[in-house]
Amino acid sequence: MTLQTPDPTQLKNQLLQELDELPTDLLTQTLDFVTFLKTKQRQNVQESSEIRPSTATSLLKHAGTWAGDDIHECLEDVRALRE
């Protein structure tokens, strides 16, 4: 059994038809929900574009740049957080 991708035009028409039958208070809630969905989608897109896995090249840019004598303590903190 193959699932078909819904036709966007058909979905929009169905949604408009349902919206026509809603009372004003539910229209307000619906608008709030749609706004929430759009905001969440924008945040997800932004977060996914900002997070990139490190590469050996990107790590080597920082080689030898540690300032301080607490690297071992910091590594222990990282290990503890990962557990």
- How far the first Cα of the chain sits from its last, in Å, is 42
Which of the residue ranges 16-20, 29-33, 38-42 would you say has the lowest mean pLDDT? 38-42
| pLDDT above 60: residue 1 | no
pTM of the entire predicted model = 0.48
What would the pLDDT profile of 44-83 be if each residue is shown by its tens digit?
877 766 666 777 777 777 777 777 788 888 888 888 888 7
Residue 32 structure tokens: 């709030």
Q: Does an H or E element contain 2, and which?
A: none
